[in-house]
A = this chain, B = another copy of it.
Amino acid sequence: MDIKERIIEKASRLFQQYGIKNVSMDEIASSLGISKRTIYENFKDKEDILLSALLRFKQERDKHFIALLGQSPNVVDVFIKIIEEHQHMPICNVRFFEDIQKYYPRAAKLIREHVETNNNYLRDFLRQGIKEGYIREDLDVNVAAFLVEETTYTYIRASYLEKPPFSFQDLFYTMMINFVRGILTGKGIRIIDAYLEQQRTGK
């Protein structure tokens, strides 16, 4: 991996863990064992690293999603795989999103663009599921795609709860399983319920 890639990867991880404001260029440099000057030879400023990180994340996500589509026998299976993957991902610090909204307008704009592209993918994906008979044909795909977007905000608001009566993992899991079961037809629900049963009994 070249130095530019290494900086992006390390910075992403630090940003997600501590937020963006909280991470200095010095810390990024020292945690990579390089000089700050090397960072500035590759990036104009912190927002520049952030923008590269967001683009890289988007590219990887798209690539991964396309691979998932190729591997999965049906849309329900794609949802299940995404839910499973998220359960093992580290939780992103809510400050990451807050800092972007407050201090990094170019990053906020980029995220809005990404959300819009994702929304288009998602709508196509839902339509495919409807055609295949796994998703209810009376589903309003525009509303459904908006509800998926909303899950990020739900996560942000949960992080403001003084004493949340659940973990973020539980929140994500229940929210996603519920969403998916809500949009599926009987044929689709049979698949996800078989999966849930398997999880519960550990078989």
Contact = CB atoms under 8 A, between A and B. Distances in A.
Interface of A: 138-140, 142-144, 146-147, 150, 153-154, 157-158, 161, 165-166, 170-171, 173-175, 177-184, 186, 189, 193, 196, 200
A171 B142 CA distance: 9
B142 A178 contact: no
Contacts of A140: 166, 170, 173-174
A113 to B, nearest CB: 14
30 contacts: A138-B196, A139-B174, A140-B173, A142-B165, A143-B166, A143-B170, A143-B171, A144-B174, A144-B178, A146-B158, A146-B165, A146-B166, A146-B171, A147-B154, A147-B174, A147-B175, A150-B150, A150-B157, A153-B157, A154-B154, A178-B179, A178-B182, A179-B182, A180-B182, A181-B182, A181-B184, A182-B182, A186-B189, A186-B193, A189-B189
A130 to B, nearest CB: 14
Nearest to A175: B147
Nearest to A171: B143
Contacts of A171: 143, 146
Given A142-B170, A182-B182, 14 more contacts: A143-B166, A143-B175, A144-B174, A146-B161, A146-B166, A147-B154, A150-B150, A153-B154, A154-B154, A178-B178, A178-B179, A180-B182, A181-B182, A189-B189
Contacts of A175: 143, 147
Contacts of A158: 146
Contacts of A177: 182
Contact of A143 (B174, B182, B183): B174
Contacts of A184: 181
Contacts of A186: 189, 193
